[in-house]
Structure 1
């Protein structure tokens, strides 16, 4: 039967692939940190003021009480007294001179800082990091 439509058909075939993933242990890593303390001497500049007091005798007659004065780093504080004479007269008995002196000292201040270091060990898949290594492995370390 040449007119049979079934004889003219060719079967079509198709292959299909599927891909799956699987986790495979290829090795292990052990990481350890260690903290160390480092001592330092830190340079610092300290400033201090000292006061020098000088008493300067004057013994001079005045008409009024003078004001305290400052000239640069020198402060003059008048000290007066009343003297009884036939009349009252004001005398400058002495002056107190106060001078500020600034000194700078360099010092080193001890201080501590901490720093961490990291140690990384890699183990192949065949060696468990919890196993004790053989004597030959310990000799290599």
Structure 2
């Protein structure tokens, strides 16, 4: 494209042109894919040795009283691998002894004391009177 330059008083005017770029994208299907998965099962025999451990406990009664000042036994391992765990028990020991704590001394002392106190005393007396027989004379004789 050619444009004519205008000449005005020794000046030239040049038109400037700029291109703008516009970028875009679109999806275009170029093909398709189908994926199928199938599983085959095949049994195999697997051999392996597994190790496990179990604890065997044996309780051995000892019943021994520790001597005065003897330290308490601690856990130990014997040469065959056996671990020995001592089980301790604290036992309350009660002693019963007769102790003469005191004596009480008692003696009898005779004391004479004159006492005056008014007391009501009752006494019964019987008087007997004989009466002559009744004039009718029919009944038995009575004592009054």
TM over 0.5, shorter chain? no
Q: Quick one: higher RCO (CA 8 Å, sep 6+), 1 or 2?
A: 1
Rg bigger for which structure?
2
* TM-score normalised over the length of structure 2: 0.32
Instruction: Provide TM-score, normalisation by structure 1.
Output: 0.33
The structure with the greater share of residues assigned to helix is: 1
* Larger fraction in strand: 1
